[in-house]
A and B are shown apart, each in its own frame.
Chain A
Amino acid sequence: MDFLSNWLLTILIFLPCVGAVLVLFAKGRDAVRWTALATTIVTFALSLLLFATFDWHQGNGKYAYASEGGVVQMVQQAAWIPAFNIQYKVGIDGLSFPLVILSTFICLLACIASWNIDKMLKGYMALFLFLETGILGVFLSLDFFLFYVFFEVSLLPMYFLIGIWGGPRKEYAAIKFFLYTLVGSIGLLIVLIGTYLYSRSVFPATAGNPVAGTFDLVKLAGPEFQAKVMSVAGMTSAVMKTFFVLLMIGFLIKVPAVPLHTWLPDAHVEAPTPISMILAAILLKMGGYGIFRIAYPLYPNAGKELWLLFAIIGVVSIIYGALCAMSQTDFKKLVAYSSVSHMGFVTLGAAMMTDAGVNGALFMMIAHGITSAMMFFIVGVIYDRAHHRELARFGGIATTMPVYTGFSTVACMANLGLPGLCGFVGEVMVLIGSFQAAKPDSIIMQYTKGAAWPYIMTLAVISCFGVILTAGYMLWTIQRVFFGPEKNEYRGFPEVDRREITVLTPLTVMAIALGVLPTLTMFVFTQQTVNALFKLFS
């Protein structure tokens, strides 16, 4: 058990990387496929062990290491670059726990979904597994530098996965994705260096630790840094705001939020189905995770000061994304824009800085991870058969493929936020959180001395309309694709096969489970950490 809690996270991160090397040496198509699948299965199984080792009751509710009575546990660390005090430091808390499980889960399903990839299979599987290492690394690193490295590392395989195995405009989509994300990363890099420079005055060199400064994310969010960064290190409010905005730009590109979202429809439309699943379900969450792990904990005061900007970005994303989705003629592009709309709730939940808002945003990330993966797979299934994605040409699929229609309806309902399915909980909690922000004791109201009330109410009310728009375009999609008279060109379509059912069933189960038992499946793990994080803001 001790070995497990010490090494589990490191094994989780690097196991897919080892699998990638094995894949490169595997002979034959089947060997490659099964090696990759075995790797993702083992990784998923190991991540399930976290349920045994992760203790969600632990700690006194402080955002600190378990050894200091906090919530961050299973920490493993080793000095990496002593000259800068950079460490290999991984750990887990309620914020990363659900995302890690989600990542290994979706990667496993995406690996099954990749079964019909034929072109350069070996390279595909190796890059796929390499990508999984990058993703898990992002969610588990506690060192800013390490986080940045994994954040970038996950970029490289994605470029190839879209660029080589993508659709007709794959080259354009791949380079656009790469450029957009790199623009954000450069901002992150500047903040990374800047934060470290300021932290050197807060954590001067001592006898035990000869190098000043730290990249440790938990320490940087801790009370010592927060108390001293302005008074001792001399960071001005302008610098703080600049850093915060640079961080948010970096993460909001990934999320993506309007107006930084234009890479997403292209990347999604061109990427192969399994990669779209990973992109929507996990890669977008790296942005959301960064907001909660880095942007707000490190610079909460800047977050309070700029709340209106990011709340507006969130609301605009919700409404604009939904309107765009409504006007799409391409099924996959519709799902892509619905991602923009849904992830707008995450931005809004973070910007409002209320308990329910933050919890809702976190839940929204997981729920969206399930539903978007499912939606993209559903689009992939129909594309495999029809070889087009034009909504106007579909119709009457329900007669030919009843089982498929059943799965699709669950996915669409979960996506539009039907009570009882996972999408509902997230949306409602974020909306409740938005209205909570208008209460006189909320962080923003306290900070603005009540002046924010009309803005909060306006934004909250507008964001409610997003729910209606979502319902509108989702229902219309169901109607256009599945209902109506049966069309001749779709008559002979085979029903979903065993492999496709294997992918869809667990997603459906999770969509229902998260919707019916949100507390048991999610909040019980995250509550402690979210509370601890939340205390940092107020």
Chain B
Amino acid sequence: MTHLLAAIGLPYIPGWDELRPFAADLWLIVTIVAVLITPFFITRSNIACALVALAGVTLAFLSQLLVRNSPHVIGEHFRGLLVMDQFAMLWKLLLLLFVAGVILMWFTTTASNMHEGDGPEFFALLLSATLGMSLMASTSNLLMLVLSVEMASLPSYVLAGFRKTHRIGAEASLKYVLFGAVTSAVMIYGLSFLYGLYGTLQVGAIGHAMAAGAIGVGGNALLAVALLGLIVGIGFKVSAVPFHFWCPDVFEGASIEVTTFLSVASKGAALVLLIRVLTTIAAGLGFAPHAGMSLAALAGVIGVMGAVTCTVGNLGALVQTNIKRLLAYSSIAHAGYMLCAVSLLVRHKATIVGEDGNSIAAQAILLYLAVYLFMNLGAFTVAALIYRQTGSEDITHYAGLSRRSPLAAACMTVFMFSLIGLPPFAGFVAKFNLMWVLGTNGGWWWALVAVIGLNTIFSLYYYVRVVKIMYLTPSDAPALNVNPLGLGLAVACAAALVLLFIGLAPLSRVTTNYGKLYLTSQTQQQPAQSTAMITGERR
């Protein structure tokens, strides 16, 4: 018995100081439980669950706001399993804001025809996925990385097929789960090599270990496989080419609020995770090439991947006629733009990733996500409103929308122009900021700037086609009586896009302040600690 206790160690009880930074995640857990027990008390449980979920997300948002300046928030917690920094904080706030928007959107779309009693499951799944995505932002431990990715993925698979009677939904779910399972397996396989090579699960410690010594030719091959596995796993979540095939089918098959949720939250979380892992490794290496680990090659791979992803996304969207598929390809393209900026994070340059973890590339991605959230939420909301009235997702049925619902058409126009990246909407400043960050690095990164510019031209055609059909194609279809709450949400998003354009100064200030990564190199952590944690030894 004593041997057993010695083997597993005394139970580890975290203190408030360690729990406080994760107040938002704790509130999410509480809300999941609350959503699950709500039907025991209330008969009309769908609406009640939605309200509970909305309240929980709001509380989580507020608690995250409250603790942002508390002492001991920034840094590693739970023996390095989780990390909290400004970057993760802002992502969590954006994510929670977005999820609140998705729940509001649910009221306007599925609320009335969701089967009674499905609500608790739906919101429990939605919030579980949210929790996973929130944790993805604050992980720098391989074990936690896998856990949080799966935490985000598994509920998403179910959500994609949540319309149980829809054949296409089932197909979407199956496709998603098969793709997800394979890429997860590849990722975990790769990560196991990392552990095998360096004997630690802490990403920061892995970086230091890499810097410490060469690992030989065979080791380099293993390292390449390991990083490839990581890129495959996260590339799947980001829907980076060539792991993007699931995206249009899943987006088309899933119900529209799930599609909305996946389009921003899932991709954003994966990008945020990629940023953290890569930057932590690069910082551990001191942003310098070491035997077997060429950061320039890594940056090149990601940059090329980003360029290919946005090009494929935009070219694929050109021929789409289903609004959800069109927006799916558009989201592939936007993920590609952001991937381009991720390639900078492993660059050694004081102006890009500062000694204190201040990173303009992280800033650009945060700013892009903050704007992209409103564009996509709004565009999908309008699509959902029209779907609910006409039962069609085909953009040819948008004909004459300017007359049938002028406000919805005007909002959709704003979202389309913003997605192209035209002023006076915030999509322009997000893209400008991104291109500027890439240009700052100079050299080959100007090629990425040019690729993004070229893609803007490609994208013009299909976004404007939606506008064209709404305004230029005549139709005698009857006027639409759209849901006022949904319309309000769309107008709010459109207004947000104009305001964020004019008010770029505060947005840019906030994202600059929060574009800061906690890099383990500051603490000179010993690899022994995390090994100890895994084997259960206490220090």
User: Which A residues contact B (CB, under 8 angstroms)?
Assistant: 79-84, 123, 148-149, 152-153, 155-156, 159-160, 163-164, 170-171, 174-175, 178-179, 182-183, 186-187, 189-190, 193-194, 196-197
Contact = CB atoms under 8 A, between A and B. Distances in A.
Contacts of B471: 160, 163-164
Given A156-B417, A178-B460, A186-B457, 5 more contacts: A81-B505, A84-B508, A149-B423, A182-B460, A193-B439
Contacts of B422: 152, 155-156
A83 to B, nearest CB: 4
B182 interface: no
Interface in B485-539: 504-505, 508-509, 512
A194 B442 CA distance: 9
B243 interface: no
A152 B456 contact: no
Contact of A193 (B402, B424, B435, B454): B435
A494 B471 CA distance: 35
Contact of B439 (A152, A174, A183, A197): A197
B432 interface: yes
A228 to B, nearest CB: 18
A171 B471 CA distance: 10
Contacts of B468: 163, 171, 174-175
A83 B435 contact: no
Interface of A is mostly: helix
Interface in B438-469: 439-440, 442, 446, 449-450, 453-454, 456-457, 460-461, 464, 468
Interface of B: 402, 417, 422-424, 428, 432, 435-436, 439-440, 442, 446, 449-450, 453-454, 456-457, 460-461, 464, 468, 471-472, 504-505, 508-509, 512
Contact of B436 (A178, A182, A193): A193
Contact of A189 (B402, B432, B461, B505): B432
Contact of A190 (B402, B449, B457, B504): B449
B43 to A, nearest CB: 46
4 A-B pairs closest in CB distance: A186-B453, A149-B423, A83-B508, A193-B439
Contacts of B505: 79-83
A387 B125 CA distance: 63
Most buried by A among B432, B442, B450: B432
A162 to B, nearest CB: 10
A182 B439 contact: no
Contacts of B424: 149, 153
Given A160-B471, A186-B457, A189-B435, A81 B504 contact: yes
29 contacts: A79-B505, A80-B504, A80-B505, A82-B509, A83-B508, A83-B509, A152-B423, A153-B423, A156-B422, A163-B471, A171-B468, A171-B472, A178-B460, A179-B457, A179-B460, A182-B460, A186-B453, A186-B454, A190-B439, A190-B446, A190-B450, A190-B453, A193-B432, A193-B435, A193-B436, A193-B439, A197-B439, A197-B440, A197-B442
Contacts of A190: 435, 439, 446, 449-450, 453
Contacts of A187: 453
A189 B452 CA distance: 11
Contact of A175 (B402, B453, B464): B464
A182 B460 CA distance: 8
Most buried by B among A170, A174, A178: A178
A149 B422 CA distance: 8
A186 B422 CA distance: 10
Contact of B456 (A175, A182, A193): A182
A83 B512 contact: yes
Contacts of B423: 148-149, 152-153
A413 B417 CA distance: 43
A25 B32 CA distance: 47
B352 to A, nearest CB: 13
A74 B512 CA distance: 34
Contacts, number: 77
A163 B439 contact: no
A123 B472 CA distance: 13
Most buried by A among B472, B505, B509, B512: B472
A196 B504 contact: no
A83 B505 CA distance: 7
A116 B23 CA distance: 63
A196 B453 contact: no
A196 B453 CA distance: 17
A84 to B, nearest CB: 7
A217 to B, nearest CB: 17
Contacts of B460: 178-179, 182
Contacts of A81: 504-505, 508
A182 B423 CA distance: 12
A193 B456 CA distance: 16
B436 A159 contact: no
A179 B432 contact: no
Contacts of B402: 123
A136 to B, nearest CB: 15
Contacts of B449: 190, 193
Nearest to A123: B402
A123 B470 CA distance: 14
Contacts of B508: 81, 83-84
Contacts of B428: 149, 152
Contacts of B464: 159, 175, 178
B280 to A, nearest CB: 26
B269 to A, nearest CB: 26
A13 to B, nearest CB: 13
Contacts of A179: 457, 460-461
A82 B509 CA distance: 9
A159 B439 CA distance: 30
Contacts of B439: 190, 193-194, 197
A187 B456 CA distance: 11
A197 B440 CA distance: 7
Contacts of B504: 80-81
A178 B450 CA distance: 19
A153 B422 CA distance: 8
Given A79-B505, A171-B472, A193-B449, A186 B456 contact: yes
Nearest to B502: A80
A196 B436 contact: yes
Given A178-B460, A186-B456, A84 B472 contact: no
B472 to A, nearest CB: 5
Contacts of B440: 197
Nearest to A148: B423
A230 to B, nearest CB: 16
A471 to B, nearest CB: 40
Contacts of A194: 439, 446
A117 to B, nearest CB: 16
A187 B454 CA distance: 9
Most buried by A among B402, B423, B512: B423
B442 to A, nearest CB: 8
Contact of B472 (A156, A170, A182): A170
B276 to A, nearest CB: 24
Contacts of A160: 471
A389 B512 CA distance: 58
A178 B464 CA distance: 9
Nearest to A234: B442
A84 B457 contact: no
Contacts of B435: 189-190, 193
B349 to A, nearest CB: 13
A187 to B, nearest CB: 8
Nearest to A152: B423
B436 A84 contact: yes
A82 B424 CA distance: 18
A149 B427 CA distance: 12
A229 to B, nearest CB: 15
Contacts of B461: 175, 179
A286 B424 CA distance: 18
Contacts of B432: 189, 193
A183 B472 contact: no
